[in-house]
Amino acid sequence: MKTLLQQTAAILEKEALKFRVIESSNMIELKMGLDSAIFTVLIACNEERQYCSIRCILPNMAPASKKLSVAELFNRFNHQFIFGSFAMDMEDGEMYFQQSFMTAGNYLEEEVLVRTLRIALNVVDVHYEKTMSVIFGNVHPILAALEMAN
């Protein structure tokens, strides 16, 4: 049987996506150009624990002066999600959305990977503008989150 990493690569090839395999980290990296920005996507495959994790990294870093506002915004965003969440590295300001899913016996169902990837990409694409409005437009996190809810 193929490894999770090999199965993931095969599915991404079938979807005609360009990517690079980072075997030493058991990850795949791809760049996805969406309506709002170009996002780096990392797909980590864990054979031992039988799961895959998709991390969509936002192209901007949160400046030190806006980290608390972004953290509040992400907290408000995360209340609406069933799966996945936004997070930020408080040290360097890296922002990302992460969603994971389990596999059965290290068998990766194509539909599960494709749907999870599409959902994660849609979430970052839809929420990116509001995140940038808090960082660069001085919009209060409560207002940005309320606009997303409406």
| Three-class SS of 8-61 | HHHHHHHCCCCCEEEHHHCEEEEEEECCCCEEEEEEEEECCCCEEEEEEEEEEE
User: If we measure between CA atoms, which residue out of 32, 16, 23, 52 comes closest to residue 124?
Assistant: 32
Mean pLDDT computed over every residue of the chain: 95
CATH number at residue 95: 3.30.1460.70
Q: What is the mean pLDDT of residues 121-148?
A: 94
pLDDT at 148 over 80: no
150 pLDDT more than 70: no
DSSP class of residue 107 equals B
* Domain of 116, in residue numbers: 4-149
73 — pLDDT class (breaks 50, 70, 90): very high
The domain tally of the chain equals 1
Token pair of 149 as six digits? 């809810």
Tell which residue, 77, 97, 72, has the closest CA to residue 86: 97
Task: Give pLDDT tens digits for 29-45.
Answer: 999 999 999 999 999 99
